[in-house]
Amino acid sequence: MTTLASQIHYPSGNGLPVAESYVHLYAILVTLEVLKQYLEGQQATVLANQFLYYSQGIPAARVAPDVMVIFGVEPGGRDNYKVWEEGQVPAVVFEITSPSTRTKDKDFKKNLYVQLGVQEYWLFDPKGEWIPQQLEGYRSLTVEVDDELTPVFLPITDGCSQVLGLRLQVEGALIGFYRLDTGEKLLIPSELAAELRATAARLEQEQYARQLAEQRAEHAEQQAQLDRQAKEQAEQRAAALAERLRAMGVDPENL
């Protein structure tokens, strides 16, 4: 039976550009890919610029985080994300911000995310157009306001995401991510490609060195065999000469 709820349409897009500039788009895509690689194998997903629907039956109640990390759900992409179907809200949200989105990112989205239960909210200004340090982080904390417990976002001062277990730092027009447990950097696609090329070159060089060593060892063995053959031939010639001398009545020992 068709119900009213099943007839409600939740669009997956609005026809607008993903980002206002190449720099913003690249920061979104790199952040998405780095975090996807980092969380691979975990019960989590990372989505970018997908509609987040947070109120069933109200398609207008939506927002499109630039990047959001959700734990406790099936990995993989979605055309959109409905909180009531998945049962989880994003744990961490990144907005790649600019002057044109500043007010919405700093006010509306910040207030919405904390009310939804987002644990961390990060604003990254890749061009440094309105955030001098380019990166701002906020962590949710429940405080008492007018005798009621209310979640609020407080500034993150150490640049660390406790939820993700990562330290964040500005690296040009991108966010650099470093593991808190090992200090290891999460490589962006271009760095990963460069490392793979370097690894391939190193392996090729090592293979060449092994082949060269094997060739030298083979040459040394061949030379040793030739030396043995030459020695045997010399001994055979000496024995034949000694035999001829004895046939002539000459003792080779007395020569």
Dig out the tokens for 33 from the structure: 């890919």
pLDDT score of 136: 98
Fold of 8-186: tt1808, chain A (3.90.1570)
pLDDT score of 207: 67
Q: Is 120 exposed, middle or buried (0-12, 13-18, 19+ CB in 10 A)?
A: buried
pLDDT score of 250: 73
Q: What is the mean pLDDT of the chain?
A: 89
157-179, pLDDT tens digit by residue? 999 999 999 999 999 999 999 99
Place 227 in a pLDDT band, splitting at 50, 70 and 90: confident
Question: Where do runs of H (alpha helix) occur along 39-169?
Answer: 83-86, 102-103, 110-116
pLDDT greater at residue 99 or residue 233: 99
pLDDT score of 249: 74
Over residues 78-99, mean pLDDT: 97
Tell me the residue type at 101.
Answer: T
103-126, pLDDT tens digit by residue? 999 999 999 999 999 999 999 999
pLDDT score of 12: 85
Distance CA 14, CA 16 (A): 6
Domain ranges in the chain are: 8-186, 199-254
